[in-house]
Amino acid sequence: MAQAYSRERRAVLAEQLREKVPGLELVVDAPMSEHTSFHIGGPADILAAPAGEEALRRLLLWARDGGVPLTVIGRGTNLLVRDRGVRGLVVRVGQGLDGTEVSDSVISAGAGLPLAELSRLAAARGLAGLAWACGIPGSLGGALVMNAGAYDGEMKDVVKRVEVMRPDGTRAWLSAADLDFAYRHSALQGADLVALRAELGLKPGDRSAIEAEMAEFDRRRAGSQPLELPSAGSVFRRPPNHFVGPTITQAGLRGARIGGAQVSEKHAGFIVNRGGATAGDVLELIERIRAEVKAKFNLDLVQEIRIIGEG
């Protein structure tokens, strides 16, 4: 477990950071429930949103030199933050790291750009290859880390290369092969690298046909997923030869509830926050699902969502 900082220490660290990174947007004891789509999670000691690459570089160096634990997040849509929160510095990659450039059929985009915006930009330029991404609520950075995908598309299909920042503030380009993409996996998972931007190779297409495809994906998603309630998307990875939702339903767990956490009635692969759910509620429900699916079908469900912080 990471060292717990006293209130005074947190204030001193925040002051140091403000000096090191002028104009930095920074919150002490930031409730992570306000920065995750689950609306769950205890406080981050310090949450900072760098407004550009130089601010990010200074943040990384400050954390490294001070031995302050560092966690990088995007839009927090694949995250469960435990109830006692996150020690050290949480860096949110978003606005300021979200620029785009289009050259022929290649889009270069910053990791902080919402994936859905990138999908709409590609369509507006008549570029095919990202329609599937229109309803995924995360950032491009999170999508690279997770190799996000839907409707038979995934990041792996379009990423040419990714620029990253190392803990010492230096930068490097990783090729698609370096990134080792597989189902909901990339080499960025567990690496101490911050995704900065990606170059995506698309194909010329017809704008109205791409937009019609996106509208169809939106319609299917709205019909099958509990978009009206807070969640972090599919909780579990898809096991070979099985669909998670139907398996959980067959185990009799659709609608099962612990505290404020409930197996969605609409899509049993989602856990939703019915109001006031704690990370403890969600984790207990995950364990119950895993145990009952194992007992009934001898199937091991593995989490897709990323769990961070202290319980």
Ligand X SMILES: Cc1cc2nc3c(=O)[nH]c(=O)nc-3n(C[C@H](O)[C@H](O)[C@H](O)COP(=O)(O)OP(=O)(O)OC[C@H]3O[C@@H](n4cnc5c(N)ncnc54)[C@H](O)[C@@H]3O)c2cc1C
**H or E, element range at 8:** helix 7-20
Residue 235 interacts with ligand X (CB under 6 A): yes or no: no
Q: Does the annotation mark 234 as catalytic?
A: yes
258-262 long-range contacts, Cβ below 8 Å, gap at least 24? Answer: 258/284, 258/285, 258/288, 259/284, 261/285
Our CB check for ligand X shows the closer of 54 and 206 to be 54
Q: Does the annotation mark 224 as catalytic?
A: no
Sites for ligand X among residues 90-109 (CB under 6 A): 93
Our CB check for ligand X shows the closer of 211 and 218 to be 218
Which of 232, 261, 263, 268 contacts ligand X by CB under 6 A? 232
**Torsion 264-267-269-270 (CA) sign:** negative
Which of 50, 141, 205, 269 contacts ligand X by CB under 6 A? 141
Sites for ligand X among residues 201-230 (CB under 6 A): 225, 227
Total site size for ligand X, rule CB under 6 A: 32
**Torsion 303-194-308-222 (CA) sign:** negative
Which of 111, 174, 248, 282 contacts ligand X by CB under 6 A? 111
Sheet containing 70-73: give its strands across: 25-31, 43-49, 86-92, 70-73
**From 184, 186, 199, 231, the catalytic residue:** 184
**From 33, 119, 231, 234, the catalytic residue:** 234
Our CB check for ligand X shows the closer of 33 and 139 to be 139
Sites for ligand X among residues 28-87 (CB under 6 A): 37, 72-79
Query: Do 38 and 306 meet the contact criterion of CB atoms below 8 Å apart?
Result: no
Our CB check for ligand X shows the closer of 12 and 182 to be 182
Sites for ligand X among residues 145-164 (CB under 6 A): 145-146, 148-150
Q: Does the annotation mark 304 as catalytic?
A: yes
Contacts of 12 (CB under 8 A, 6+ apart): none
Query: Do 199 and 267 meet the contact criterion of CB atoms below 8 Å apart?
Result: no
Query: Do 307 and 78 meet the contact criterion of CB atoms below 8 Å apart?
Result: no
Q: What is the closest distance, in whole angstroms, from the C-beta atom of residue 64 to ligand X in the complex?
A: 15
Which SS3 state, helix, strand or coil, does residue 194 take?
A: strand
